[in-house]
Amino acid sequence: MQYGVTLPTGGECGDPRFLVELAECSEAAGRDGVLLEDYVCYQGSPTAPTCNTWIALAAMAARTRRIRLGTAVTPLAAGDPGTSPGRPQASISSPVGA
C-alpha cells in the first residue's frame, strides 16, 4: 500500500516555498507521493493567494529525492499552464507575493 498527500495551491498553500517545505516533510515522514490541486481561482475567490502548480512541482522535484509528484486536479480549459490569462505568474526564484 502507498500513501500520499494532496495539497491545494491557494490560501495558506499559495506560496511555493511553503509547498516545498510540505513536500520535504511528507518525504521525511515516509509518504510516497504529493499531489497538487491546480486551479485558477482558490475556493471561488479571485483575491485568494495562489501559485502556479507547475512551478511549485518543479521546485518540489528539485528538493526531494524519491517521492512521486503530480497534479490531482488540472482544469484543461485553463490552457497552457504557464501562460494562461488570469493565472498568477511566478518562477522558482521569484514566487508570487515575494
Q: For residue 96, tell me if it sits in a domain.
A: no
Q: For residue 90, tell me if it sits in a domain.
A: no
Condensed to tens digits (0 to 9), the pLDDT of residues 2-61 reads 999 999 999 999 999 999 999 999 999 999 999 999 877 888 888 888 899 999 999 999
Q: For residue 21, tell me if it sits in a domain.
A: yes
Q: For residue 89, tell me if it sits in a domain.
A: no
CA 87 centroid distance within chain: 13
Residue 72 host element (H or E): strand 68-73
How many folded domains does the chain comprise? 1
**What's the confidence (pLDDT) of residue 42?**
85
Q: For residue 15, tell me if it sits in a domain.
A: yes
Question: Higher model confidence: residue 71 or residue 74?
Answer: 71
Q: For residue 88, tell me if it sits in a domain.
A: no
Single out the residue of 19, 37, 33 nearest to residue 78, CA to CA. 37
Question: Which range of residues forms the domain containing residue 14?
Answer: 4-78
Q: For residue 66, tell me if it sits in a domain.
A: yes
Alpha helices in 12-94 (DSSP H): 16-28, 53-63
The C-alpha cell 499559495 sits at 14
**What's the confidence (pLDDT) of residue 24?**
97
**What's the confidence (pLDDT) of residue 82?**
55
**Measured between alpha carbons, how far is 98 from 40 in angstroms, rounded to an integer?**
19
pLDDT beyond 60 at 93: no
